[in-house]
Amino acid sequence: MIIRDYVIKEVIRTFAGVFLVLFLIILSTQLLRALSAVAEGKIALDFLFSLLFLKNVASLTLILPLTLFISILLALSRLYKDSEMVALSACGIGPGTLLKSISIILFSFIFLEITLALVLAPWASNKIQQAEESFKAEADIELITPGQFNVADGGQRVLYAQDMPGPTRLNNVFLHVDNGDTSSVMASDDANIVTDKRQGARYIVFQNGNRYDGTAGSLEYRFIKYKDYGVLLEGKILGNMTLDRESIPSTELWNSQKLSHKVELQWRISQIIMMIILALLAVPLSKSAPRQGRYAKMALAILLYVAYSNLLVVAMNWVRKGLVEPLIGMWWVHIIFFTLFGVLFVRQMGWLSRLKRNTYNALHCPNEFDELVKR
């Protein structure tokens, strides 16, 4: 009981440090991406911190298995480095006891990973997609800054308004639209932003202005004078939004027969299975000589994690392309690494050496007995 609590305490303490480091790395990466999205006009500045929160909730599904794997590896490696495992082995405490202690920790983290992979991560992805779609629906309005050139659609549309006396009113405004081979320019003293309540679409209506159509570098231009001219803004109706596969609730995936939905459900379940197998694999992998140091197996551990996660991605793409049946899916990857754990653990326990010794005795003892009888 004391040894079990000691091992659990070591793993939890190491887990806190490793999780903090990995979380800060992911947080800084997500912050840079979010700031880049704000600068490119893909999301609103007001949504920045909410986006960071939701992104990190979704990324916890991948962080948790890696953190637990490294934590168990470092905690048990320290026991070998400080020769504590030698003393424990002398008391009859071996890898089997360590595996039982790790199983207690793993049992607690399984529920957290299930909640993250099957509930919270899809919920966070759904919220992010809804926010992005909502911003796209209002982007042409929200991004209008009086006295500045407002670029949209990757530079294909440039809107300028000298003044914006109201949320839907513009003064001294012009709009340049790049149609590929040709371009159009609309200009007027006043314009209004109008919303079609039936369709949810938004229009910018120029009043008493002019339109110029033509090709850059050419003198052939068409001039149109109008009283009212409406231009459709790039808005979307949120009711027609199609959810990405990452945003679909797990209950809906479970009842679906679509191949893409089956693949996504297998991917979410695979994150849970990967955490279990990596945690078990860390027990035999942590065994090292005292002179090797605590971080001797770290490079190998990172290599195994990268290979595991990349093989899952490859297996997912094979199923998605129809190269592998969904029944086989990604399960073969888990079987490979669970087999690796079994081989390493059997070797650490010394069962192979004991089996060889028993086999040798069974084969050679009769001959030795016959020789003794003859004497």
Q: What is the pLDDT along the chain (375 residues), one digit of tens a residue?
A: 677 777 788 889 999 999 999 999 988 888 888 888 777 666 667 777 888 888 888 888 889 999 999 999 988 888 777 766 666 666 666 667 778 888 888 888 999 999 999 999 899 888 888 777 766 655 555 556 677 777 766 667 788 888 877 767 888 888 888 877 788 888 888 888 777 766 666 778 888 888 888 877 677 778 888 888 887 765 444 445 577 788 888 888 888 888 888 899 999 999 999 999 999 998 888 877 666 666 667 888 889 999 999 999 999 999 988 888 888 889 999 999 999 998 888 887 765 555 555 555 555 555 554 554 455
Domain assignment of residue 103, yes or no: yes
Q: Does residue 105 share a domain with residue 31?
A: yes
Same structural domain for residues 257 and 122? yes
Co-location of 48 and 32 in the same domain: yes
Domain that holds residue 114: 2-137+242-360
**Residues 307 and 168 occupy one common structural domain:** no
CA nearest to 63, candidates 107, 121, 9, 126: 121
Integer-rounded Cα radius of gyration of the chain: 32
- One domain, residues 12 and 116: yes
258 & 109 share domain? yes
Q: Is residue 375 assigned to a domain?
A: no
Instruction: Decide: helix, strand or coil at residue 249.
Output: coil
Sign of the torsion angle spanned by Cα atoms 131, 133, 137, 139: positive
**Any domain includes 146:** yes
105 falls within a domain: yes
Burial (0-12, 13-18, 19+ Cβ within 10 Å), 280 = buried
Residues 21 and 39 in one domain: yes
The domain boundary residue, chosen from 238, 256, 278: 238
Q: Is residue 210 domain-resident?
A: yes
Residue 368 lies in a domain: no
Residue 303: inside a domain, yes or no? Answer: yes
Residues 218 and 273 in one domain: no
